[in-house]
Amino acid sequence: MEKRQIGNSDLFVSKMGLGCMSLGTEEKAAKEIVQHALKNGINYLDTADLYDFGQNEEIVGKAIREVRDDVILATKVGNRWDDVEDGWRWDPSKSYIKSAVKKSLSRMKVDYIDLYQLHGGTIEDHFEETIEAFEELKSEGLIRHYGISSIRPNVIKRFLMSSSIESVMMQYSLLDRRPEEWMDLLDENKVGVIARGPLAKGLLSEKMLSKASAKMKENGYLDYSYQELQETIESIHGKMGDTRSMNELALQYDLAHDSVAAVIPGASSIQQLQENIDAVNASPLSPEEVDILKQLTKLSRYGQHRE
C-alpha cells in the first residue's frame, strides 16, 4: 500500500490506517482484524487511552508485539477517567499528560509512541504547558512526534502558531468537508491531516442510508436535513455508482487532497476492513470525478470556536 509522510516528520504511513476504536473487546477477533490489516500493507494503527478505558490499547499492544518496529503506533491523551466515578473529564495539564503516557506505554508494553495526540482541546486550555509536556516527552524519547485531534479552528491555529505538531486529526468526509477550509494553512505549516470518519458513520459505505440512525432520520447529519442527506447520497450513487463503490468514492475523495496523510476508517470485522482496503487500493479519482463530487456535496464551514 502506498505510504505518505505525516507533516514534515520521518513517519511514513500507509495511506489507510486502522482506526482501532471499533475493534471491540473480544481479544481474539480484534487481534485477527489487526493482523489482517498488517498483512495487507497497513502499517499505521490509531488508538486512544479512552477507548474501552485502556483495554483497546492493551489489545493493540498484544497484536503488534512481534512486529512493533514495523508499525507506526498512534494514541491519544487528555480524557481522564481515573479520578471520576462515571465517564471522564478533560485534563490537558502537563502533569497529567506526563503520567498518562507512562500508563499508555505500560498497557501497550512498548517503549515509545510514534505519534501522540491531544484528544480534543479548547481555546481556554493552558496550551503552553500542554505543548511543554509533549516537547519534554519527545526529548525523553517516549514519543517521536505529536499532533492534535481537533476540528476547532481557534485550537488548530493556536497550535500551528506555538508548537511543532506534525498532524491534525479531523473528521473529514464527502458529507463533512469542513477541513478543506484549513488545508492551505496546514500545507503552509507542513502539517498533515489525518482523516477520521471518512465513511460518515457508514452513510458513505455500500449500506448507505440503511446506516442512518433514528436520531439522524429526525435531525439529519451535520448541516444536511435527512431529506438532503437522502438526495445527496442517492445522487452520488446514481451519478458514479456504476463505476465505483461508495467506499471507493468516499476514501478516494479524501485521499485526492495532498494535505491528507492518511484516512483511518474503523473496522469491526475482517470483511469490513477488506472492503476499505480494496477501496483505497483502487485507482485514484480523476480531477473530473473530484469536481463532480464537490458539486454534489456541501462545502461545510465550522461556525463556532473561530476566534
51 among known catalytic residues? yes
Annotated catalytic residue within 51, 116, 146, 172: 51
Angle between helices 246-255 and 287-296 (to 10 degrees): 110
The whole-angstrom separation of Cα 165 and Cα 159 is 7
Which residues, at least 6 apart from 162, have a Cβ–Cβ distance to it below 8 Å? 127, 128, 131
Integer CA distances (angstroms), 99 to 92, 104, 105, 139, 279, in order? 11, 9, 10, 16, 39
Look up residue 142 and give its three cell numbers.
Answer: 517516549
- Residues with a catalytic annotation lie at 51
